[in-house]
A and B are shown apart, each in its own frame.
Chain A
Amino acid sequence: MMSENKNEVWAFFASVKLALFTFFILATTSIIGTVIPQGKEMDFYIQNFGAGTAKLFQVLNVPDMYNAWWFVSLLVVFSINLMVCTIDRFPNIWRLVKMDNLAMDLERIIKMPKRQAYSAEMSVADLNREVMSVMSATSWKFQSAEKDGGTLYSAQKAPWSRLGVIAVHVSILVIFLGAIIGSALGYKASVMITEGRSTTAVYAHDGKSTPIPLDFEVRCDRFELDVYDTGAPKEFTSDLVVLKDGKEVYSKSIEVNDPLQYGGLTFYQSSYNAYENTYVVELENNATNVAKKFIIGPGREVKWPEEGVAFGITNRMGPGFMGRFRHKIWFNDANGSPAQFWMDEGTPVVVERTGASYNMKIRQLYATGLQVTKDPGVWYVYIGCAMMLLGLYVAFFLSHRKIWLYISEEGAKARLHISGTSNKNKLGFDNDFAALTDLLENNESLKLTKE
């Protein structure tokens, strides 16, 4: 048996007053974190707000207020309120959804605020038949029962629309569940991978960059920075390859807004880092179609013994158009004297030699900056979001509408009562109801007289 005390606690958490109060407190306290910069060092707060205030900030964890105990407690109160409120109201809502409209008290039905009564010059049996044939042309599906000597018909639309509000409330809890799963079982990390290199660990965003080992290897084969004429970045692209036990199992070219997903982790293109004075040279022998990639610095001779080629960067000009450099290349193979020429970053050239030609391309060496997220809760969040939109639509734009017809014999006359009710959008229901009464009144075979 529930104690008096427990009932009080339940009533407190089930109240809309508490919901309104929590909305208000959450809204006003949320402002703090938008005004006071978050996640700064203690020195910042001391400098800007003074030592005393900074101390208070520390106690209340204002620098990370959305994770502070008191803010999280508010969210917990909000969730409990939501849960208790929903459980508290559900039986009543369910009763209305499941209600047998034919079992209702006849007095109540014919005294609905929305009603109309008619008499007809025909037998009760004929009126029953005619009315139902008129109604069969409408979208209302009637059920009937004998009641107090007459016949009661009832039809309803969208009784389940009453559950919309429950769906919205539950959706918020589902979103919270997703957020909790995400923060308990997931993590946020990042890693920089130099072109041509790979990584088997990422570094957590926990303030200490704790390495998190991966059970696979991620390699960056290529990074490309595309810029607008203004020099502003247009797109960063990384060709990523996932290796398991040294074997390539998955590859994808990622850009901002298009991440790679593998093994429960998502790798997002987030930044890049250019290596000063280090370049990627791609060289291909056009006769043999053998190609190789070299990572080089300036002023150093690079050898490709298999093809008998040696080359190097001897000078550099720039940066010029779109922040790119020109490089002076020294190039030699087995035939003839060494060639010297200028080439632009990113623009391929063909090096013609006696008896051979080579395709050559030079570009800046980059490390790609990847944001790494493990969030097993994100699908719960998405399902919650979808549920919320659907629930809001149902709760606001659909209504539970009911219509009753009662046909009886009163003083040798056949009489027809029509009444109806709607839980929302009374104006829209007025139109529905008027359409039905018009249909009845204008029907030639019925010849109804309004009472």
Chain B
Amino acid sequence: MNSSQLLGSTTFIFLLASFLYIGIFVFRARKLGLIASLASLIGFLVLTAGIGLRWAESYKIGIGHAPLSNMYESLVFFAWSIIIFYLFLEYKFKNRLLGAFAVPFAFLSMALAGLTDPNIKPLIPALQSNWLIAHVMTCFVGYAAFAVACGLGIMYLIKDTNVEKGKEKNPDSLLATLPALTVIDDITHKTIVFGFLWLSAGIITGAIWANSAWGTYWSWDPKETWSLITWFLYAAALHARFTRGWGGKRIAWLAIIGFVSVVFTYYGVNYLLSGLHSYGGS
């Protein structure tokens, strides 16, 4: 048993879990709920074991480092963060319908990892720093929250089509089973707040790391700039809500647009733009 087998298998566990969660939603098969939760929990545990094993393997081949250093490893960690964040929400809000809008993101991240070079590579000198761990972890906890917020935003917009003046247009509709709009709105907002704190921490740990590696905490590198753009977007969303009372559809759309910016910061920049973080392109 090696780490790639473990990590590869979680792709399918998350796919299965996604189907189950969507199944609960589409067929109102509440009985599937426990199986779906169990599947994502098992997926989470296997993924955790896989990450741990990969960590150990890197030491075994003499180039030991935390598995957070390249595109493959960051996608795996992204999936891990999404699933743990989702499981927390499911536990806290006792609602499995969120799963249909969150767990597929974990599957997508693992599927993308499957298309990426999984070899354990030695670290170049600049990456040999504890700030690497702090930076990647803080960023991805934030990204995971934004992924879930995006799922919640989509959920809100879908649900909204069935609501008129605070009442369900069609009480028998599938959409009536989703949490109330005000509840979705509240969770979306809280999730964005949580993500924003971690994104800020991610940008700060990155700046401290850059300063300790080459004496410049900010260099307007494309990735840095895009993280700032993302930060501005969410800052705008939070200000609009706190001071102008934005909510509902507008915050749902901002959650989706914000996540598009996150995906571009994380994934697009590596392939489309050049810069310090361009490990993904090579």
Contact = CB atoms under 8 A, between A and B. Distances in A.
B201 to A, nearest CB: 6
Given A232-B124, A236-B125, A388 B204 contact: yes
A411 B51 CA distance: 70
Given A233-B124, A371-B215, A30 B63 contact: no
Interface string A220-254: 00000000101011111000000000000000000
Interface string A381-420: 1100100110011001000000000000000000000000
Interface stretch (A5-13, A15-23, A42-50): A15-23
Contact of A378 (B131, B211, B240, B274): B211
A378 B215 CA distance: 10
A19 B242 CA distance: 13
A188 B215 contact: yes
Contacts of A437: none
B214 A270 contact: yes
A278 to B, nearest CB: 24
25 contacts: A23-B233, A23-B236, A27-B229, A27-B232, A27-B233, A31-B225, A34-B222, A35-B273, A37-B274, A230-B122, A233-B125, A255-B125, A257-B126, A257-B128, A257-B129, A257-B131, A257-B212, A258-B212, A266-B215, A371-B215, A382-B208, A385-B208, A392-B197, A396-B193, A396-B196
B19 interface: no
B220 A38 contact: yes
B269 interface: yes
A268 interface: yes
A26 interface: yes
Pick from A26, A27, A228, A270 the residue with the most CB of B within 10 Å: A27
Pick from B63, B209, B269 the residue with the most CB of A within 10 Å: B63
Contacts of B122: 228, 230, 232, 234
Contacts of A232: 122, 124
B93 to A, nearest CB: 11
A20 B239 contact: yes
Interface of B: 63, 122, 124-126, 128-129, 131, 186, 193-194, 196-197, 200-201, 204, 207-209, 211-218, 220, 222, 225-226, 228-229, 232-233, 235-236, 239-240, 243-244, 269, 273-274
A27 B201 CA distance: 19
Contacts of B211: 378
A235 B65 CA distance: 14
Q: Interface on chain B toward A: helix, strand, loop, or mixed SS?
A: helix
Contacts of B131: 257
Given A23-B232, A23-B236, A34-B222, 6 more contacts: A20-B236, A20-B239, A33-B220, A257-B212, A259-B215, A371-B214
Contacts of A20: 236, 239-240
A100 to B, nearest CB: 26
Contacts of B201: 389
Interface of A: 16, 19-20, 23-24, 26-27, 30-31, 33-35, 37-38, 66, 179, 188, 228, 230, 232-236, 255-259, 266, 268-270, 371-373, 375, 378, 381-382, 385, 388-389, 392-393, 396, 427
A378 B217 contact: yes
Nearest to A26: B232
Contacts of A26: 232
A381 B200 CA distance: 14
B125 A23 contact: no
Closest 6 CB pairs of A and B: A373-B215, A256-B125, A34-B222, A27-B232, A23-B236, A257-B129
Nearest to B183: A427
Contacts of A381: 207, 217
A235 B125 contact: yes
A266 B217 CA distance: 13
Nearest to B203: A385
B198 to A, nearest CB: 10
A389 B138 CA distance: 12
Nearest to A25: B232
Contacts of A37: 274
Contacts of B222: 33-34
Contacts of A372: 215
A382 B207 CA distance: 9
A24 B236 contact: yes
Contact of A23 (B129, B208, B235, B243): B235
A170 B282 CA distance: 41
B200 A389 contact: yes
A396 B197 contact: yes
A389 B196 CA distance: 10
B220 A66 contact: yes
B213 A16 contact: no
Contacts of A233: 124-125
A392 B243 contact: no
A235 B216 contact: no
